[in-house]
Chains A and B, each alone.
Chain A
């Protein structure tokens, strides 16, 4: 059971692209200060990454690495155009709010490098599932970050005022983003360590009882 679950949830929990590999952290640090921004980033990242990686998976594998990387980047910059048009339609103001981080999402490391080193080595179905969970992993982190930073920095949740006595305005600034993400990353690793230790204990107990 465990063996089947691990690869599927790998991108969401065990190998989260933001907390574990520190990929795509600039938008999280700079733009992840409100839930509205987080929602816009979720849309932009999910749409661009899913489409770009799926389309790029049809690029012949025999091509030289350099050429493949350039083609992946070009495909994602083409995919970015309709995604941006749709964002202007469905998330008015989001493109302006996110600024340069919107196009930067189109050339993220998951599309350009991780796909080549890991995803394209898998069969298409497994690649798609793993990609979706990598995307979910990013989405979860940005939504949690947006929620917590907005709550403590502005005293609001999705722009609705809540009762926070002492807002920490620094959390909305880039340095607040760095510090919050560092702490979040540490917490994530701490939980992972506890889970791993518990699994090892269970395994060693099972070995002892097996003997």
Chain B
């Protein structure tokens, strides 16, 4: 029963199915398992550590300078972007060559930036949420939510791109309608 509750909570908090954040990236990620794993992993890293940066930014930034929040988030993600690329470069050149496209694809993505902004908004409406652990957990949840939605899409990816689907609706349009139907199912759970 706990597992069912957790699954429902995970789906209900899913940023793609409920807020359409990172939809275009998920279409690229669902193309192959390798892409899915790579993109999902990098997005989770960005949302997890980005949320920690967002926590400190929200904590330290004065209310009258709240308009600069986006700029600070962008700088934080930018620093994370450089660190991730540099770390990968020094660990293994081969891994760097193979994985950097996922990092380029995920940085400043709606799923990443949207997570930071959503978490921050949640904290401003509910002061009890304001804590490093809560921020990082929300970032992790967003990453897991991305993986869940990508897996759901991967299950139907080939069929939605097959020749049986009319040419005009093949690919992106069919995938959007499919995600809409899944989103409707999730909406009924909330």
What is A's interface to B at a CB cutoff of 8 Å? 21-23, 25-26, 29-30, 65-66, 69-70, 73-74, 77-78, 80-81, 84-85, 99-100, 103-104, 106-107, 109, 112, 170, 173-179, 181-183, 185-187, 189-190, 193
Contacts and interface: CB of A to CB of B under 8 A. Distances in A.
Contacts of B23: 22, 25-26, 29
A82 B71 CA distance: 13
A70 B78 contact: yes
Contacts of A106: 70
Given A103-B117, A174-B183, A193 B78 contact: no
21 contacts: A25-B20, A25-B23, A26-B20, A66-B81, A69-B81, A73-B108, A77-B73, A81-B68, A104-B114, A107-B113, A109-B24, A170-B184, A174-B18, A178-B176, A178-B180, A179-B177, A182-B176, A182-B179, A183-B177, A185-B172, A186-B166
A21 B172 CA distance: 9
Contacts of B24: 21-23, 25, 109
Contacts of A174: 17-20, 183, 187
Given A170-B184, A178-B176, A186-B169, A104 B113 contact: yes
A104 B15 CA distance: 14
A175 B74 contact: no
A189 B117 contact: no
Interface of B: 17-24, 27, 67-71, 73-75, 77-78, 81-82, 85, 104, 107-108, 110, 113-114, 117-118, 121, 166-169, 172-181, 183-184, 187
Contacts of B174: 182, 186
A74 B181 contact: no
A176 B18 CA distance: 11
A187 B181 CA distance: 19
A107 B108 contact: yes
Given A100-B114, A106-B70, A189-B173, A177 B20 contact: yes
Contact of B19 (A26, A80, A182, A193): A26
Contacts of A173: 184, 187
Given A25-B24, A70-B81, A112-B108, A179 B176 contact: yes
CB-based closest 10 A-B pairs: A178-B180, A182-B176, A179-B180, A182-B177, A190-B168, A186-B173, A70-B78, A175-B183, A175-B184, A100-B117
B168 to A, nearest CB: 4
A186 to B, nearest CB: 4
A193 B114 contact: no
B107 A69 contact: yes
Contacts of B18: 174
B153 to A, nearest CB: 12
Contacts of B173: 182-183, 185-186, 189
Nearest to B175: A182
